[in-house]
Amino acid sequence: MTEPGLNVIDVLLVEDDPGDALMTEEAFEHHKIRNTLHLVRDGVEALQFLRREGEYADAPRPGLILLDLNLPRMDGREVLAEIKVDEELRSIPVVVLTTSEAEEDVLRSYSLHANAYVTKPVDFERFIEVVRQIDDFFVTVVKLPR
């Protein structure tokens, strides 16, 4: 049971790197983040999850998406573009969480209507702090659509 006034959401992590996925999971555990983290490994799976297709027919609608850019089969830029043109999905906040510091990726992500762009820190402690800050902002500070 959750505390009154505490928002608990489903978070979709779209991440192909097992190490980064594990660090994100550990950040959720370390900071006792109550949100449920769902993991998919590529862009095709991400869209199947979001559209509740195939094995994801019973998937919950996430309240937040953490999206890597460099993914197999369909990259994060393509996934972001698909999400933001889909009337059913476009209101879900998308945080691009990637290793890329390229200005072109930052500009393109925002032009595709990403809600935030965060470069993954390489230091583990800093990484888990960044994940905590993202969660804190999007779950505690801002009002999300239901």
Q: Which of 108, 40, 120 is nearest to 78 (CA)?
A: 108
The ranges assigned to domains in the chain are 10-137
Q: Would you identify the CATH topology of the domain 10-137?
A: Rossmann fold (3.40.50)
Encode pLDDT of 55-102 as tens digits. Answer: 999 999 999 999 999 999 999 999 999 999 999 999 999 999 999 999
Mean pLDDT within 7-23: 91
Q: What is the pLDDT of residues 98-108, one digit of tens each?
A: 999 999 999 99
* CA distance from start to end of the chain: 19
Query: What is the Cα–Cα distance from 69 to 75, expressed in whole angstroms?
Result: 6
Written as six digits, the tokens of 5 are 């006034």
Task: Check whether 122 has a pLDDT greater than 60.
Answer: yes
Alpha helices (H) along the chain: 18-30, 43-51, 76-85, 103-111, 124-135
Residue 2 — pLDDT band, cuts 50, 70, 90? Answer: very low
The strands making up 36-40's β-sheet, listed across from edge to edge, are 36-40, 10-14, 64-67, 94-98, 116-119
Question: Which tokens in the block code for residue 96?
Answer: 């691009």
Which of 78, 106, 80, 81 is CA-nearest to residue 12? Answer: 80
Count other Cβ atoms within 10 Å, centred on residue 65.
Answer: 27
Crossing angle between the packed helical segments 18-30 and 124-135, to the nearest 10 degrees: 60
Residue 20 confidence (pLDDT) above 80: yes
